[in-house]
Structure 1
Amino acid sequence: MADLAPQDQEQQVKKLKRLLEGWRMALIPLKSVILWEQQWHPCAIIGSISFLYIVIWLLDLNSLATVAVLGLIFNFIDFIVPVVSNSLYGPSAWTGQKEKMFEEICRSIIIQYNKLMQQMWSFYSLRDTSPCMYYIISIGMLCTLAWVASTINNIFLLYVLSVVMLMWPGVQHRGALNSLLSLINMAPKMIKSE
């Protein structure tokens, strides 16, 4: 699978913009929270995820009921956000600068989606080019996943996965991972110099 042509990517961006039309006023502040533009944004992300998982834990529902309740919550949010956004902000609140930011958000979502699809395709192409490597990697990953899932509480695993997924854009944007890795690389040099 070759990289997408620019016109294909533009078509994807246009399609996503139409899909997220009702969410456009909410996506702009949400982007600043996800990218940690204020110091309290990581705490807000972790706090809201923790609140959601504490409610799930306190309800103590079985798996199917949990999926149903989460589906109801997400449907309610998907319904209420465009309604509230349109009632709070009129059409005059939408400026050219906000339109540009909205298009940038949609473009970055499409770019990340295409990167993920490219990585998945390259992994599955191993099945044809190097079947032994494909099966070693996939069986090893699935066995590890089964072992971790059987030893650790599944709700806790979902909580950790949710925190990592929602914190990752901010970590990348701030360069926190690069700073940590450079610190780790410098540690042996600092020990030798002492």
Structure 2
Amino acid sequence: MADISQEQEQQVKKLKRLLEGWRMALLPLKSIILWEQQWHPCAIVGFISFFYLLIWLLDLNTLTTFALLGLLLNFVDFIIPVITNSLYGPSAWTGQKEKTFEEICRSIVLSYNKTLKQISSFYSLRETGPCMYYIISISMLCTLAWVTSAINNIFLLYVLSVVVLLWPGIQNRGIFNTLLSMVNLAPKVAKLE
């Protein structure tokens, strides 16, 4: 167990070094992602909607879309550290901000490790229960093929993006747990015999 925490601490330190230029930008992003203000979910959905509306209006082919998306990500990765370093000097970075930045990095590492653990446990199912592994894999892939052939792919990516970016706020506010408890409290329907 000590090795796992030691490894996570190394991952946190590595991530902190990697995100050093982004640290001043990550603090407001954290408050937006976790919905610290009531308007934050609307801002997230509005930003994603604008982005996908732009993709839809440009109507580019797939490779051009990926190339432009890569250019945009490279530009943002370059410009954000430059802007934040020019707006905020080293004196603006306080111990409280450093603690918040470390919490952000720790939560990213924990989410990453949790996802990797779930993926590896699914693939370990191939060794322990191959029948169940293939039933789950084939049914999920068939469902995915059916859904993607029936619904526009850009719309599916839009919905996936909205869900992924709203999910931390949903968890932080406890909305998902509230919905689950409401389902559990729903009156049970009597079986007809």
Give the TM-score category using the shorter length: over 0.9
Aligned to 2:187: 188
Seq. identity, %: 74
TM-score by length of 2: 0.95
Structure 1 position 186, deviation (Å): 2.7
Structure 1 position 3, deviation (Å): 9.5
Runs of 5+ consecutive residues of structure 2 not aligned to the other structure: none
Aligned to 1:142: 141
Residues 1:179 and 2:173 aligned together: no
Structure 1 position 153, deviation (Å): 0.1
Aligned to 1:60: 59
Aligned to 2:165: 166
Q: Distance in 2 between matches of 1:157 and 1:92?
A: 44
What code does the residue aligned with 1:23 have?
W
Aligned residue pairs, count: 190
Q: Determine helix, strand or coil for the equivalent of 1:188.
A: coil
Q: Distance in 2 between matches of 1:51 and 1:81?
A: 20
Q: Distance in 2 between matches of 1:65 and 1:17?
A: 33
Map 1:1-194 onto structure 2 (within 5 A): 5-188=4-187
Judged with a 3 Å threshold, the aligned counterparts in structure 2 of structure 1 residues 35 and 134 are, in CA distance, closer, same or farther, namely same
Note the aligned Cα RMSD (angstroms): 1.6
What code does the residue aligned with 2:83 have?
V
What code does the residue aligned with 1:179 have?
T
Judged with a 3 Å threshold, the aligned counterparts in structure 2 of structure 1 residues 150 and 4 are, in CA distance, closer, same or farther, namely farther
Q: Distance in 2 between matches of 1:145 and 1:3?
A: 40
Q: Distance in 2 between matches of 1:19 and 1:13?
A: 10
Cα displacement string for residues 11-51 of structure 1 (whole angstroms, at most 9, x for unaligned residues): 00000000000000000010000000000000000000000
Q: Distance in 1 between matches of 2:145 and 2:24?
A: 41
Q: Distance in 1 between matches of 2:183 and 2:4?
A: 39
Judged with a 3 Å threshold, the aligned counterparts in structure 2 of structure 1 residues 135 and 17 are, in CA distance, closer, same or farther, namely same
Q: Distance in 2 between matches of 1:114 and 1:130?
A: 23
Q: Distance in 2 between matches of 1:119 and 1:103?
A: 24
Judged with a 3 Å threshold, the aligned counterparts in structure 2 of structure 1 residues 3 and 52 are, in CA distance, closer, same or farther, namely farther
Q: Distance in 2 between matches of 1:41 and 1:171?
A: 12
Structure 1 position 4, deviation (Å): 6.0
Q: Distance in 2 between matches of 1:142 and 1:11?
A: 36
Q: Determine helix, strand or coil for the equivalent of 2:187.
A: helix
Structure 1 position 179, deviation (Å): 1.2
TM-score by length of 1: 0.94
Q: Distance in 2 between matches of 1:102 and 1:92?
A: 16
Q: Distance in 2 between matches of 1:31 and 1:4?
A: 29
Judged with a 3 Å threshold, the aligned counterparts in structure 2 of structure 1 residues 3 and 142 are, in CA distance, closer, same or farther, namely farther
Structure 1 position 178, deviation (Å): 1.1
